[in-house]
Structure 1
């Protein structure tokens, strides 16, 4: 996306005034307090007359009712406000929320929130409300005796009698009860204990909890910063005296998983986008602030300076994402810019304020080493690669970017774009994943880091969603294997092989495809990259013809002009694009001569970070009954001088001997 104009007065959002969020110079606790206030201030005009609801810009419908959407808009910012107040800070609008809570639980009020039904979204918003009551006694006191009775009924009695999804949602009921308990209100200890015990069955080992019971493989940011680990740590802090053994166990798990989670954050402050709900943006780092809040002793080699560095660099990176705001200054649904294609069916205009989880660090005392330490870079001390058994990821930080190879997790239900959010082969902090804005042709499917197969000539494409996967060792090195069938009679085995020191900008993607019952077209995509030339923002030209060290090979042709010879190259020559770094793909296997290389101009707004992208892609056709091996080299180099971006393009990665042998012996 085009960088805004920079002036002496600050960073301009396009041609308008700068958002205050981008202008706060982050250095210490006070500056982070000020950053939070730039999120809260724009909410003021959107409070209802009695302050019990907040209707934010963006009249979008969600799977729950409008009242619940507006409750969400009120309660989610409480994550930030309550942390600010619990840490001794002040905010001018605190009374808005106190008045809103009081009127929202009043059954006689015109703005009464309504009793929750089974599996009601209101239960989600009970979590920040329960947390706020637990850590800010002034809120409980401020709503008065009648308000306290209303909260007891709405927050306690109703939720304890209702069904909830068998996921991280159960933590929300725990905190509803915990908020009441901390204030002497009526609550259910029996329900609280039963929920925590059941949530413990989600634990899988190595510090990781799954977002659901057996049979689901879903370990994304909900397993760490959005819900489970975050809330385990807050529980350990708030309920540790009553439940000391479990509190200590939660701290131990956090110590273990921290050594894995540290791999998801690069030196520039970016997190690797992976999974659903990434529209919660900077909530991706809330786990790290929660470590400090829960008084966890850090495992070596991590230091509080490294933890502080992860959080502060992350917030600074988001300060550079100038297009994520509405004209009113509120957060939008999207990632680096407003984007409904990547939104879940539960993302209302108030939904992005779950991002306020990141401000748990403000509840940490200013004397804690989180605040007193100098920022450090964790990549100075941790190895550049690690295989993570539980999530099924191989993490690497080589070749200029932090990325993961994924065995193929899956959400428990087929949400919008689930194959892109969980089933892609690689996820990068530099090149975010892409979601499909439509259901016809490759341009709409936007198959970044995915293999697509079509049996209808290229209109509909099937990708990896459900798979049987495992982390294996080949000659002492980690490799991911997955078995999947996009059609009942087309069977694929995929190997994902991480970079090696000799060729750090390449990783290997290998597919053994048996088109048992039908002919299929295939499309194997690299990372998506910005499709704008630096000269004027227009689409990229043939490499080097207009702007030095920038462009594509072969030539990018307008969408759907598939018969143009200049748009194609032999698969062994590959395809690449150079703009903000370089990405590309080549066919490496000698038997893979049938594939050709091209650039797919993905439909706009498919990528999370770059609104206009192109995807170097290898395409081929497998006849009915054929077995083929596709060995693709995926190139990526996002950092350095432009003239160096393609320095590794001609130095091809070697195909491992074990793979050559398997291909040769396959009948």
Structure 2
């Protein structure tokens, strides 16, 4: 009995960021459905302004334009496509769920319908929110890649309902990206996923851009689940922002289209699972996580790789659904239980936890911030999935810092 009470006290301390003394007087921790409701509320709050205003033709009019110090380009050419692609990449698995008459289902249906309407608007030259891919800059390679990820994650919900003119415009736009080269780092995966999207559609694609990205990722694998972001290793979250999730999405298309063998996919998956173990261990008992490397204004997108393992039902054997959900819920609460990361109109502000513009990079604008949706991928699992129904459990740092037994950690050799 004492052991059980101690367990729940620790769990409450972590999920609510409260002291042990207070935890002893608190109610039982929220169950999975309450966690899900909080996730849904948070994702809706983040994504609604982008999707709704795009549907209304008022995105460019209403979205603020805040720039990181030393921003070096014309943000108006990029920031709106950034916001659209990044928002949809994270919300796509959730929008792909079937309709129902629950409160969540009604929210999901509204966003999906507005997302389709907004994409049709964005591809109409007469619309105020018209977006272009053929500008004289390589940034659209990145922004298109997140849009491609959204279509690959929710083809029936987001691609199939688009009108024929929109589809033609997008296909032409993706092909136009070949006039520019990607940066010699994680950007090679952006160029590759753009082509993989065309391949999935049965369109003419450039296999060289795909193969170059794959070969470089193989060359840049540093070991123990970590990739180097280019020839030199960088200690940041780009293994999660981009590399692991996009590599898995890319190889999934190639396997489906019989352009790659399953063994290559499974090696990449095992590496992502190993990296996910590190990600889970990075989450502190209070739901905070280490601040290091560039692009910290992408906030909880730092945990896209862990979230994608959960979505694919491929969490490593060392991690239970309950502990991963509890850990990611703690992160989400640390960032979005309050309003510190939003302006008065509900748009994300530059910063990690609050308005911290000095933390933004020279390539960061308001649209860039919508990477935050990428940690919500498990919402693509239905509410009765074990990820949501298993009891919450303490994650590794909770157990480690409260004297509980934890699994020792050793490197892997794949």
TM superposition score normalised by structure 2: 0.77
Aligned residue for 2:73? 64
Moved over 6 A (4+): 384-390
Q: Is the 8 A contact 1:104 1:113 kept in 2?
A: yes
Aligned counterparts, 1:357-372, within 5 A: 357-372=374-389
Q: Is the 8 A contact 1:52 1:101 kept in 2?
A: no
Unaligned runs of 5+ in 1: 1-24, 391-667
Q: Is the 8 A contact 2:297 2:369 kept in 1?
A: yes
Paired residue total: 361
1:385 and 1:273 mapped to 2: Cα distance? 24
Aligned residue for 1:349? 366
Aligned counterparts, 1:548-627, within 5 A: none
Aligned residue for 1:42? 49
Aligned residue for 1:292? 310
Q: Is the 8 A contact 1:202 1:209 kept in 2?
A: yes
Which residue of 171, 176, 186 maps to 1:158? Answer: 176
Cα distance change, pair 356–164 in 1 and its aligned pair in 2 (3 A): same
CA drift of 1:164 comes to: 0.7
Counterpart check, 1:101 vs 2:101: no
Bigger helix share? 2
Cα distance change, pair 240–335 in 1 and its aligned pair in 2 (3 A): same
Structure 1 or 2, whichever has the larger Rg, is 1
Cα distance change, pair 369–39 in 1 and its aligned pair in 2 (3 A): same
1:236 and 1:375 mapped to 2: Cα distance? 32
Aligned residue for 2:243? 228
Aligned residue for 1:113? 131
Cα distance change, pair 247–119 in 1 and its aligned pair in 2 (3 A): farther
Aligned residue for 1:584? none
Aligned counterparts, 1:44-443, within 5 A: 46-47=53-54, 50=57, 53=60, 55-60=62-67, 62-65=71-74, 66-88=76-98, 90-106=108-124, 111-116=129-134, 120-136=138-154, 137-155=156-174, 157-213=175-231, 216-223=232-239, 225-241=240-256, 242=258, 243=260, 244-300=262-318, 302-379=319-396, 380=399
CA drift of 1:359 comes to: 1.2
Partner SS, residue 377 of structure 1 = coil
Cα distance change, pair 139–28 in 1 and its aligned pair in 2 (3 A): same
- Structure with the bigger RCO (C-alpha within 8 Å, sep 6+) is 2
Q: Is the 8 A contact 1:269 1:313 kept in 2?
A: yes
Unaligned runs of 5+ in 2: 1-31, 99-104
1:210 and 1:159 mapped to 2: Cα distance? 25
Bigger strand share? 1
Q: Is the 8 A contact 2:121 2:129 kept in 1?
A: yes
1:372 and 1:232 mapped to 2: Cα distance? 29
CA drift of 1:365 comes to: 4.0
Partner SS, residue 289 of structure 1 = helix
CA drift of 1:161 comes to: 3.4
1:384 and 1:299 mapped to 2: Cα distance? 12
CA drift of 1:358 comes to: 0.8
Q: Is the 8 A contact 1:134 1:178 kept in 2?
A: no
2:252 and 2:36 mapped to 1: Cα distance? 20
2:62 and 2:252 mapped to 1: Cα distance? 33
2:128 and 2:339 mapped to 1: Cα distance? 38
Cα distance change, pair 48–297 in 1 and its aligned pair in 2 (3 A): closer
Aligned residue for 1:32? 39
CA drift of 1:237 comes to: 4.8
Greater mean alpha carbon deviation, residues 71-80 or residues 337-346: 71-80
